[in-house]
Chains A and B, each alone.
Chain A
């Protein structure tokens, strides 16, 4: 933890140094960015943008995880579904995010549903592939044990299947969260009237780098905090039974 903070401090120091020697219009120093952040926060605009973006990240993330997990589970369990759906997943995996976003806006209109749907669709195939991998790795011997001992369907799912899938779920969460928030910004930049992505677009029009960083950095920090305080503890919790040496 101490090393992490030290490394972060070094990054800020390096930034200060680069700003000192460079053009302040292209790369403002940390203090200048902080001042902009303060004024944006005072007006409330910063929090409004962060809130709007976070809400979209949460909605798109939950949608993609729920639908993706269900599809991934079905594909991992059933060879026929797997063979039928696999080409779709491959197409979706290789379709550029931008194409999905533009098509969603053209077909669905410039609205919230199209924006969130487009982001979720970008994240969906990664979730499907990860969860399918987890389902394929399920231990058939434990499944047999549960059947012989008459475990109900819910009991099997909760105590036999879910603990085996948890690490895959955590991996999908971790990879998904960073992917989703980056795409949410693009979606906002292209077709939403608020949010961090919208503010970045404004900053781009004005060539205002301090403004751009004043919105981008707090949001990055929030995602970092979610990762450290929620995702990592979850991963530790689900793997607590593993012998230490293997961890």
Chain B
């Protein structure tokens, strides 16, 4: 395995093999020959059946799991921001402190602008336990953006949110992503979410997973008609294996 910061502003992930050991000591392959590349400013969506190793791949990209065969080339300086499936805020610190602890170098103006963009200004002094689910996810987004990441990892950040709330957050996220030149990797099982947010969609197979197809979404997104979006969605659905 290797995980290095590269000069170029691109993310190159090549995981040739990743397995888990069961209790009986057997190795179960989770990922086999999965590779993809994202250039500066691009958002890639990983979409695939549940249990296909998407979260495992994210842990590898985040540097939390180094026990794999292959290599990951991070964009230069490799500052990684991550939004997990759960907000993972420190419950004993205020929302403002949570962001500050993760991003001590961010300027006061920057943080305030971020809070304003995500509708968090009046919740800055609240403890995470006092926030609604949607607000807690916004706070997790604020934390990830505050560190000015060159690589942003979003592991199903909107799972279990109701549709209107998720759409609202999609809008906020698109605005924030487009205001930065970073690489974003989004794991999702929601085709519409992938089309709404990504430049490239990587459809993954069932375990052991690899990339079945790479689909480019027309950019800028606003130019895509409803029919075009439907056609992309139909193509992805056709490639997806049940699971």
Contact = CB atoms under 8 A, between A and B. Distances in A.
Contact of A147 (B64, B86, B93, B143): B64
A147 B81 CA distance: 11
7 contacts: A141-B84, A142-B88, A148-B62, A148-B80, A148-B82, A160-B90, A242-B129
A151 interface: yes
B151 to A, nearest CB: 11
B192 interface: no
Nearest to B65: A144
A147 B127 CA distance: 22
Contact of B92 (A141, A144, A151, A241): A241
A167 to B, nearest CB: 11
A243 interface: yes
A88 interface: no
Closest 5 CB pairs of A and B: A241-B92, A145-B88, A149-B102, A163-B92, A243-B129
Interface of B: 59, 62-64, 80-82, 84, 86, 88, 90-93, 101-102, 127, 129-130, 143, 147, 153
B22 to A, nearest CB: 19
Contacts of B143: 149
Given A155-B101, A241-B127, A243-B130, A147 B90 contact: no
A160 B98 CA distance: 11
A241 B101 contact: no
Interface of A: 141-142, 144-145, 147-149, 151, 155, 159-160, 163, 241-243
Given A149-B102, A149-B147, A243-B129, A144 B64 contact: yes
A151 B101 contact: yes
A245 B84 CA distance: 27
A154 to B, nearest CB: 12
Residues of A contacting B: mostly:
helix
B129 A159 contact: no
Contacts of B90: 142, 159-160, 163
Contact of B93 (A148, A151, A159): A159
B96 to A, nearest CB: 14
Nearest to A166: B92
A83 B77 CA distance: 41
A136 to B, nearest CB: 19
Nearest to B85: A141
A141 B88 CA distance: 7
B63 A148 contact: yes
A141 B80 CA distance: 16
Contacts of B64: 144, 147-148
A241 B91 contact: yes
Contacts of B62: 144, 148
Contacts of A243: 129-130
A27 B129 CA distance: 54
A241 B129 contact: yes
B101 A159 contact: yes
Contacts of A241: 91-93, 127, 129
Given A151-B101, A155-B101, 10 more contacts: A144-B62, A144-B64, A144-B88, A145-B82, A148-B64, A149-B82, A159-B101, A241-B91, A242-B91, A243-B129
